[in-house]
Structure 1
Amino acid sequence: MHHMNNVTYKGHLLSAIAVTDREVFSATLVVRDPSGVQRRSGALGTFASSIGAVRYAFAYGMAEIDHRKTPPSE
């Protein structure tokens, strides 16, 4: 099962995806910049819930946009 949410942050569209595999969730992120260029992260880690996976993916994407250190995963 896939869970996907979108957020716009500083003109970038962030699409966070949580995929369940048995009892854990993995997170990935698609970022579309203001010019329309799109890039996708690899797996960002495993999480106990889809909400945790999506929140982490958004935090990761926002940190990248701001050129900050990305947060550690769970």
Structure 2
Amino acid sequence: MLHMNDVTYKGHLLSAIAVTDREMYSATLIVRDPSGVQHRSGVLGSFASSLGAVRYAFAYGMAEIDHRKAPSSE
């Protein structure tokens, strides 16, 4: 099963995706910058819930936009 959510952050569109991987969820993120250029992350980690996967993907994307260290996925 696939779960997607979008958030706009500082002019960037963040699309977080959680995909069921057996009993866990894998997180990935698509970031579209204000000029329309898109970047897709690789798999950001495995999570116990789709909500946890999506929340982490958003936190990861926001940190990337702010040029901060990405949060731990643990």
- Give the structure-1-normalised TM-score: 0.99
Secondary structure at the counterpart of residue 46 of structure 1? strand
**Stretches of structure 1 lacking an aligned partner (at least 5 in a row):** none
2:40 aligned with 1:43, yes or no? no
What does residue range 1-74 of structure 1 map to in structure 2 within 5 Å?
Answer: 1-74=1-74
Secondary structure at the counterpart of residue 17 of structure 2? strand
State how far apart, in whole Å, the 1-side matches of 2:62 and 2:21 are. Answer: 26
After TM superposition, give the deviation of residue 22 of structure 1 in Å.
1.5
State how far apart, in whole Å, the 1-side matches of 2:61 and 2:22 are. Answer: 26
Any runs of at least 4 consecutive aligned residues in structure 1 with deviations exceeding 3 A, and if so which? none
The amino acid that maps onto 1:9 is Y
**Stretches of structure 2 lacking an aligned partner (at least 5 in a row):** none
The amino acid that maps onto 1:65 is I
After TM superposition, give the deviation of residue 21 of structure 1 in Å.
1.4
Percent sequence identity over matched residues? 85
- Give the structure-2-normalised TM-score: 0.99
What is the root-mean-square deviation of aligned Cα atoms in Å? 0.4
